[in-house]
Amino acid sequence: MISKVFRGHLKMRSLLSCLVILTSFVLAFPASRESQLQTKERVFPPRDWEIHSIAPSNHRIELKIGLPQPNFEILEKHLYEVSDPSHSRYGQHLSKEEVEALVAPHPESLELVTDWLASHGFGEQDMTRSPAQDWITVTVPVRLAEEMLDTTYYVWKHTASGESIVRTTSYSLPIHLHEHVDVIQPTTTFARLKSFKSTIHKLDKETGQIVEQSNTPIISASGVSVDPSCNTTVTVTCLKQLYNATDITPSANINNSFGITGYLDQFANFQDLQSFYAVQVPAAVNSSFAVLSVAGGQNNQSLSEAGDEADLDIEFGFGITFPINGTFFTTAGSPPFIPDLETPTDTNEPYTKWLDFILAQDEIPLVITTSYGDDEQTVPESFAKRACAGFAQLGARGVSLTFSSGDGGVGDGDSDPTTQTCFTNDGTNRTEFLPLFPASCPYVTAVGGTIHVPEVAVGFSGGGFSNFFARPAYQDAAVAAFLETFPNGTYAGLFNPNGRAFPDVAAQADNFQVVIGGETGLIGGTSAASPTFAGFVALLNDARLKAGLPSLGFLNPLFYSTAISGFNDITSGNAPGCGTEGFNATVGWDPVTGLGTPDVGKLVALVTSV
């Protein structure tokens, strides 16, 4: 149901739009519309990237132009109201059409940007517009992109991985367009999309069998018995025991749904899933999941092409949630652009490709987990904020989003965390902790990692404080309490205490028993923690839907308030990085394990009473 405030806003917006359009017919635009070019965005040459060569002039890129969303603050207000269990509108999620109306650009922005593209030879048939018209995409050769943006594209090579991408470090626009364009990419984004699977901390195909340490059950923080084998080998049964979910039987017939994103040619193998089910979830044998292709994404079923990340995600995500409807999104794009080959397009913007696709859908899974990201500083702030705004739109529509918090502690995980040195990308080369994106977005739930029973923080659990996003009000009390007990002067200048803090929650993150390419082994990473936690959120939705309540949607305002007692506080362990011991797990929220791990039994009671 649309609130009176929302209806009034739409009427006012409609009147304003009509006035602007009418004015455009009455008044001729000045001839100075083609104004002088001025730098729109500039970044310093990125850390660990070096110029390989001039970009081929005929190399084609998809330029995505983000137009301002003048009413985003109103959308954000709606998001927080429908996500706050103390608000009268809790659970009254917005429709696709309502969200699109709130993020639509001003008609003047649409007209001016369309005219600018037309001046470079683009007709309407050459432009792809998002449903809300806040993004315009055109495919152009590098030579034309350079002309339009008054810049030079280069092939950049990452010194450690050898990956190459086509990017520039600055671009310009006519002055009159600056207030009508938020961001244009791919230009200055140097993120290396990585799966947070601990750079395969463990994929031990020799020791994939369960090994019991003793016959004595372990009592978890939730007060339930856990098989002692769970200390060395994590299974679906272990997780349900550990998080007090063994008595929960979800339904397949209440319109519940669960989604997993896949990138970088990570293919989810059906045969591996059946082998996994045969051992760990026998009731699920012969069940399957839907595959949705995004921008031409494939899902190759050769066992030799089975993805370790994709298989981990589907096996535990769908294993925990069976028989809830499951969907795997396979998004095209593999980051290594090979500069010496005739690569037709540079497909290294997978988050926006997936966001374009999912926001255009009428039906979206109620919970979606993602196990990918990169250092926040590799993503220009303008781009990070627009991608984050896309996640807010999903939250407003009743979708819960979880993201892995990263596998580098307070650093980037590219080397020994106790010796690595972390530098800023702003030209000063200061030593600084490196927050992760999208985990640092305030509209998603970031999931850190634990290990063993009783649980302690796993040493690679990513966490920290954003340099782009301010601390949201929902976590003020919890984070302030942590900072008050944090020794004065510790790590001074290495992190932003006023930034959005993450992770929000945690789950087991190592020694997961998987089947990959037909072989059984162990694997870990916060990429295991995110689908695990998201799977239990789907069980919470099951309880709410059965009670006639709407889906949980954006989780954080609930978790940091009414549901805070439904978490097992993790108070031991730390996650080093950047040549330091990093932050410690401690009483209350901390930037290693967040609020802690879920007690699903308690959470079911809590979420069905609000």
Q: What is the largest CA-CA distance in the chain?
A: 84
Q: Is 564 marked as a binding-site residue?
A: no
- Assess whether 163 carries a catalytic annotation: no
340 marked as binding residue: no
In order, the DSSP letters of 49-107 are: EEEEEEPPTT-EEEEEEEPP-TTHHHHHHHHHHHH-TTSTTTT-PPPHHHHHHHHPPPH
Q: Helices 107-119 and 4-26, interaxial angle, to 10°?
A: 40
Q: How far is it, in rounded angstroms, from Cα 358 to Cα 360?
A: 5
Neighbours of 124 (CB within 10 A): 9
Q: Which two tokens stand for residue 524?
A: 């870990």
Q: At CA 332, angle to CA 329 and CA 335, rounded to 5?
A: 125
The separation between the first and the last C-alpha atoms of the chain, rounded to the nearest angstrom, is: 18
**What is the H or E stretch that residue 396 is in?**
helix 381-396
449 vs 458: CA distance, rounded Å: 6
Q: Is 262 annotated as a binding residue?
A: no
How far apart, in whole angstroms, are the C-alpha atoms of residue 307 and residue 278?
19
Q: Is 527 marked active-site? A: yes
Do 366 and 398 form a contact (C-beta atoms < 8 A)?
A: yes
The amino acid occupying position 496 is: N
Taking a C-beta distance cutoff of 8 angstroms, is the pair 388, 159 a contact?
no
Which among 198, 257, 440, 527 is annotated as catalytic? 527
Contact of 309 with 404, CB cutoff 8 Å: no
| Dihedral, 46, 48, 52, 53 alpha carbons, nearest 10 | 0
d(Cα 598, Cα 151) in Å, to the nearest integer?
50
Distance (Å, rounded) from C-alpha 352 to C-alpha 134? 12
| Catalytic option among 163, 313, 375, 510 | 313
Name the phi and psi angles at 244, rounded to 5: 60, 50
Residue 589's nearest CA partner among 467, 495, 448 is 448
- Active-site position among 163, 272, 309, 542: 309
Give 179's DSSP letter.
G
**Residue 392, phi-psi category: left (phi > 0), alpha (psi -120 to 50), beta (remainder):** alpha
Cα 272 to Cα 521: distance, rounded to the nearest angstrom: 12
Residue 588, annotated ligand binder?
Answer: yes
Cross-strand partners of 257: 325
Q: Which two tokens stand for residue 499?
A: 């930034």
∠ CA 497-49-144 to the nearest 5 degrees? 110
Shortest CA distance to 414 belongs to which of 591, 584, 196, 593? 196
Binding residues for Ca(2+): 569-570, 588, 590
Residues that are catalytic: 309, 313, 527
